Amino acid sequence: MKEEVAVEETGSPEVEVKEISVLDALKEVLKKALIFDGLRRGLHECAKALDRGSARLCCLAKDCDNPEYTQLVRALCDEGNVHLIMVDTRQELGQWAGLCKIGAEGEATKIVPCSCAVVTDYGEQTQALGVLLEHLKKGGD
């Protein structure tokens, strides 16, 4: 007497590729850079990184109230051929750059505003980095 055993074919699980926006990609890239010690925050650190030529990406807040500050950062980015991405607010950039406390519920508190942040090391290759670099190649801001 033979028993038949039904063997189900299990296909490989499909991995959903989720499209992410450029700002979400930027948030993830900044967090990865912070983890890998490749993020410089504030005018002094950013200007040094841009001047040395070690900067790979620069973020500048649109609501920065000092025109000399923005002119300096833009000029250093132009001189070093570094991509410049404009972020809406200093609060937002400060939160993305890790200048805040994360509460028990995952909410950011005590956010320190940041007008400029520079990535010197992306850390590891991620989908977010690919999305961001593709956006920059197309000439996006």
The alpha carbon of 6 is separated from its chain's Cα centroid by a whole number of angstroms, namely 50
**Torsion angle defined by CA atoms of residues 50, 52, 55 and 60, in that order, rounded to the nearest 10 degrees:** -10
Chain centroid, CA 9 distance in Å: 41
pTM, entire model: 0.76
Side-chain-side CA neighbours of residue 36 (13 Å): 14
Residue 24's pLDDT is 87
Q: Does domain 22-138 have CATH number 3.30.1330.30?
A: yes
Predicted local distance difference test score (pLDDT) of residue 140: 64
Mean pLDDT by 10 residues, the chain (141 residues): 49 52 87 90 91 91 90 92 91 88 80 91 86 82 58
